[in-house]
């Protein structure tokens, strides 16, 4: 059987398991007195990290960038129609906030575009893992400190502490350690901002992708 198909099947099962288990994290949190809004918000960040982030780490095993692109679009459809049907995934979705849909879209699109440009999947996954691990940690820290969704700069500090080392590590695989660090740093600053429908998922992936592209062509011509 084709390895890409087997890997896809394993990652689909893993992602489904993450989504299933976070439902029980929600239930446990509610039973311990956590309000529904906070339980949903924490779960959303757990899904960012354990689904979006961990799965991105396996993307370089694929032979083609079309697999993550298709995965991103399929998950965007699942999350979108869940909102349309009344938040069937209520334990990590907020009916007033469809940023989980843009997360899936930007995850798949950024990996695909950068893989095609660089012909290097390790560089290609960087914006996706900044969005997944960095923004995930940021949200958890802010909510733990302030008990609500906020854009306090303490979150950006923790995001930088997460993303800059990740940028160095994965950038090193392609001889672009400094570029990876810069991309992680910029993503950590940009996360602080949102402009209407242009949410932080879009801004993180676009800004870090731009820095990686500039760094790549400055370094390798």
User: Per residue of the chain (221 residues), what is the pLDDT tens digit?
Assistant: 699 999 999 999 999 999 999 999 999 999 988 888 889 889 999 999 999 999 999 999 999 999 999 999 999 999 998 888 776 788 888 877 788 999 999 999 999 999 999 999 999 999 999 999 999 999 899 988 877 777 788 989 999 999 999 999 999 998 999 999 999 999 999 998 888 778 899 999 999 999 999 999 999 87
Contacts of 137 by beta carbon, 8 Å cutoff, 6+ apart: 45, 49, 158, 159, 162
- Locate 30 and state its tokens: 């509610």
- Locate 104 and state its tokens: 């899936």
Distances (CA, A) of 114 to 81, 118, 170: 28, 6, 14
What integer pLDDT is reported at residue 104 of this predicted model?
Answer: 95
What integer pLDDT is reported at residue 94 of this predicted model?
Answer: 81
Task: Give the Cα separation of 13 and 126 in Å (integer).
Answer: 23
What integer pLDDT is reported at residue 60 of this predicted model?
Answer: 97
What integer pLDDT is reported at residue 195 of this predicted model?
Answer: 82
Contacts of 142 by beta carbon, 8 Å cutoff, 6+ apart: 149, 150, 151, 152, 154, 155
């Amino acid at each position: 059987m084709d390895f890409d198909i087997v890997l896809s099947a394993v990652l689909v099962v893993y992602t489904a398991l993450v989504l299933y288990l976070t439902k029980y994290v929600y239930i446990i949190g509610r039973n311990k007195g956590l309000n529904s809004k906070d339980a949903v918000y924490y779960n959303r960040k757990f899904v960012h990290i354990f689904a979006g982030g961990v799965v991105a780490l396996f993307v370089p095993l694929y032979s083609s960038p079309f697999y993550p692109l298709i995965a991103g679009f399929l998950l965007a459809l699942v999350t979108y129609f869940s909102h349309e049907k009344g938040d069937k995934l209520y334990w990590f979705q907020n009916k007033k906030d469809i940023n989980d849909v843009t997360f899936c879209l930007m995850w798949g699109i950024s990996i695909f575009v950068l893989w095609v440009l660089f012909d290097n999947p390790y560089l290609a996954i960087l914006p996706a893992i900044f969005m997944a691990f960095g923004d995930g940690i940021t949200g958890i820290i802010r909510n733990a400190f302030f008990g609500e969704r906020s854009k306090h700069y303490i979150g950006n500090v923790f995001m930088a502490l997460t993303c800059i080392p990740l940028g160095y590590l994965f950038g090193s695989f392609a001889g672009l350690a400094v570029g990876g660090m810069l991309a992680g740093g910029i993503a950590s600053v940009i996360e602080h901002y949102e402009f209407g429908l242009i949410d932080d998922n879009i801004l993180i992936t676009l800004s870090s992708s731009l820095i990686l592209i500039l760094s790549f062509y400055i370094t390798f011509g």
